[in-house]
Amino acid sequence: MSYESNYILDKLPKHLKQYIKPQNYGDYSAIDQAVWRYVMRKNVDYLSKVAHGSYLEGLKKTGISIDHIPNMYGMNRILKEIGWAAVAVDGFIPPSAFMEFQAYNVLVIASDIRQIEHIEYTPAPDIIHEGAGHAPIIANAEYAEYLRRFGEIGCKAISNAKDFELYEAVRHLSIIKEASGTPAKEIKIAENKIEELQHTMGAPSEMALIRNLHWWTVEYGLIGTLKNPKIYGAGLLSSIGESAWCMTDSVKKIPYSIEAAHTPFDITKPQPQLFVTPDFAFLSQVLEEFANTMGLRKGGLEGLKKLIASKELGTIELSTGLQISGNFERFLEFEGKPVFFQTSGPTALAYREKELVGHSIKRHNTGFGSPIGKLKGINLAIEDMSPRDLKAYNIYEGELVSLEFEGDIKITGRIITGTRNLRGEIILITLRNCKVFHGKTILFESDDETYNMAIGEKIVSAFNGPADLNSFDLVTHKISSTTIKATKDSRWTQLEKLYQQIREFREGTNTTISRNKVFHEVKARYPNDWLLSVELYELAKTNGDTNFAKDILKHLETVKQENPKVGHLIDDGLATVDKILVA
């Protein structure tokens, strides 16, 4: 096992565990730790004024330190007290998997950390975004339940064939934009690829729509009033640039509603508008409103069509509770209702998310098809027939039957037995020497082979994934690209050593280090590095070394002149130091 488990993680199904990777805490360099510390110190100072009250309270409850990148194992020891856990992953994972983790009360945390060049914002998920953004807010019980419920509903959302292609394109762009030295041309090609895909996606799938809801709430949500909103979205909480930008009048504030599901987003740019929810309970209200539009709750012909278009493993549930899981291939309809469906390849049957004995993918390895609906000219559905009714219509063990369904579907054969659900309703009828017709066309024909006819007047639910997770081998995850680790030459390694020396001095583990010597080496060999000089300035001010502090300020002014883009970062860092020391 590549991670330390606990009672919450033990409940994860195998197909989710395939995404988990070890955090490898020792891989974080002193520069990484300095980036974390800079962002957290600045964020906590600013967010104490503009974030929802749960944020600062949550930092304490979840044990997230301002000075040290969180250790996943340490976080888990604390998170389990509020019924949650966290796991490390490699960048973006498929949206359905991400949401399913949430359904199990597990936070997915990309364990990489942004480079100093992207200290304000990175399109790639990183531990600042996940650990410092998502984790603190789940200490709020109402929000935590929203997150869990969102995952539970979201993982059932049906994708379309292009959703995964878009996911891979976004993942690729986030990786190369965060990677050091990626040519601008390569980034532009990747951006154009995403833009092209977005213009050819067609009607948005359920997954695309619920991802929009996730973005405008979990990632970029505001709470309160339009005139005085507070931040709770992790994307804003973890971005020292956007957390300030979003509070200005340049960003339009809109009352949160289900319309957010139809508002697309661009991960590569600051958001032009944000949605404001009055409270966390309202988030759940909108989520349930959206769920009412999904195949999960509507079922019917529309849900079946969505599953066929997705080309992915999915499930329909009939009105008897019978669940058919597989890759849905085709259907026949009559008066806007499905009267026959067909899967291709391995298919399993279940009831209440538990596979029916004898109806695994081994039994239905080449597909499963069945008529559904009412018998022609009979108002009473088969599932509603009493034993006396069934006998009257000749639906009885050993009888040779010819059943005509609405939509010109006919089935003939000898009934062997019936399978009932817990309410006593027949959910399957098993026949031998069976033929299934649509008009004069034979849809299925067997001799001694048995045929199982699904019983159900209508499709009441259609959703992504199998009914019983154990019915299929879902451990098939393959990613086309992995996050790119920066190549470290001897010069960079020496800079990391300088950061480490100052870190050890500040934490009291090695106070014999000459800070002046470190400073002069930074000036001479790393004239563009600014963060270590800010940390040296803090130590100089703390120790009352005024002349040293002045030398550092003079150097930082030179850095600002040479690289104006980092000027505000330097100023913010110095201001944070001064403010903390005064306090």
* Domain count across the chain: 3
pLDDT bucket at 482, cuts 50 / 70 / 90:
low
User: Is 483's pLDDT higher than 80?
Assistant: no
Q: Is the pLDDT of residue 484 over 60?
A: no
pLDDT reported for residue 478: 57
pLDDT at 267 over 60: yes
Judge if 494 and 433 occupy the same domain. no
Tell me: the pLDDT tens digits for 69-110? 988 888 888 888 889 998 998 878 888 899 999 999 999 988
Task: Transcribe 386-405 into DSSP letters.
Answer: -HHHHHHTT-STT-EEEEEE
Average pLDDT over residues 492-496: 93
Is the residue at 299 inside a domain? Answer: no
Distance between CA 320 and CA 456 in Å, rounded? 5
Residue 180 lies in a domain: yes
pLDDT of 237 higher than 90? no
> CA 146 to CA 563: how far, in whole Å?
44
**Judgement on whether residues 430 and 535 belong to the same structural domain of the protein:** no
Express as a percent the part of the chain with pLDDT over 70.
97
Q: Please state the rounded mean pLDDT for residues 416-420.
A: 92
CB 274 within 8 Å of CB 254 = yes
pTM of the model: 0.87
- Specify if 301 maps to a domain: no
Rounded to the nearest angstrom, the gap between the alpha carbon of residue 387 and the centroid of all alpha carbons in its chain is: 48
Q: Which domain does 99 fall in, by range?
A: 9-289
Q: Model confidence over 518-577: pLDDT tens digits?
A: 999 999 999 999 999 999 999 999 999 999 999 999 999 999 999 999 999 999 999 999
Same domain, 538 and 450: no
Q: What is the largest CA-CA distance in the chain?
A: 103
Residue 478 inside a domain? The answer is no
* Weakest-pLDDT range from 21-30, 235-244, 268-277, 382-391: 235-244
Q: What are the two backbone dihedrals, phi and then psi, of residue 416, each rounded to the nearest 5 degrees?
A: -100, -50
Same-domain pairing of 235 and 380: no
Average pLDDT over the chain, rounded to whole?
90
Same domain, 207 and 326: no
Domain match, 281 and 143 both: yes
Q: Is 251 part of any domain?
A: yes
Least confident of 41-50, 118-127, 436-445, 552-561: 118-127
Residue 212, domain CATH: 1.10.800.10
- Residue 303, in any domain of the structure: no
Q: Are residues 149 and 252 in the same domain?
A: yes
pLDDT at 455: 96
**Is the pLDDT higher at 422 or at 460?**
460
Please indicate, yes or no, if residue 483 is contained in any of the structural domains. Answer: no
Distance of CA 458 to CAs 188, 301, 324, 336, 387, Å? 49, 9, 13, 12, 21
432 and 365, same structural domain?
yes
The band of 135, judged by pLDDT with boundaries at 50, 70 and 90, is confident
Single residue among 449, 465, 481 that ends a domain in this structure: 465
The answer to whether position 551 is within a domain reads yes
Please indicate, yes or no, whether residues 502 and 402 belong to a single structural domain of this protein. no
Q: Per-residue pLDDT averaged across 245-259, rounded? A: 95
Residues 457 and 530 in one domain: no
Same-domain pairing of 413 and 506: no
Instruction: Say yes or no: 271 and 401 in one domain.
Output: no
